[in-house]
Amino acid sequence: MKRCSIIIHSTTGNCFIMGSHLKDSFAEMGFDARLYRVKDDDLHILANTLESTNDFYEDIISLGEATISTLIKSSLIILGSPSRFGNVTPEMNAFMDTAWPLKESGELEGKFFGCFTSSSDETDEPSRALETMAHWAQSLGMIHIPYGTQIKPGVPAQPPQGVVHRAGKDGTIRPAQSMGKALEVYAHTMAKIVTPQN
């Protein structure tokens, strides 16, 4: 059974919700689907001050922390990060940096890749965050599977690189059912290319 590892950073829960939904979709399709988090030493501080962080704090910290061994063992790797000034978060960036030795060893070459983000606004910043993650994967020789252009009733349009949730100014608009559908469309697109057995 092929392993699909979904690796998230999430401070206020939105990427956690998206990653959990993707994990369930891949598990239903017969993948060995796993959800991991990246290291975040400050999350407990935010949880004490922000209700939206506190809501998902235990769920997030109970996830296993992703390492480079997680990447090596997976056939399909999916990163999900909040958008920050047109980029991923420093915590996701720090995780991406740990893969540097794998560039030389070539251990990630030919693996498949997908990405998603959560952002506050309607600018192009989330697309840039997706591009950063896709570029990271391509630099390591992985094959980025785009969301592409999918016109489906009841499914919000997405940038070609991956899936974006718009969480509003204070990040409290949670992913709706329509976002779940966009994530399922993306999961099925990826599963057409990398099947659970092949």
Ligand X SMILES: Cc1cc2nc3c(=O)[nH]c(=O)nc-3n(C[C@H](O)[C@H](O)[C@H](O)COP(=O)(O)O)c2cc1C
Residues that bind ligand X (CB under 6 A): 10-15, 82-85, 118-121, 125-126, 167, 171
CA atoms of 86 and 68, how far apart (whole Å): 25
CB-nearest residue to ligand X: 171
- Residue 82 amino acid letter: P
Maximum Cα–Cα distance for the chain, whole Å?
A: 46
Q: How far is the CB of 151 from ligand X (least distance, A)?
A: 24
As given in the structure block, the two tokens for residue 197 are 């057995």
Q: What is the CA radius of gyration of the chain?
A: 15
Question: Is the CB of 74 or the CB of 118 nearer to ligand X?
Answer: 118
CA 154 to chain centre: 22
| Smallest distance from ligand X to CB 121, Å | 5
161, 115 contact by CB (below 8 A): yes
Q: Are strands 143-144 and 112-119 parallel, antiparallel or unpaired?
A: parallel
What is the C-alpha to C-alpha distance for residues 166 and 72, in angstroms, rounded to an integer? 31
The phi and psi torsions of 129 (rounded to 5 degrees) equal -65, -40
Torsion, Cα 75 146 29 56, to 10 degrees, reads 90
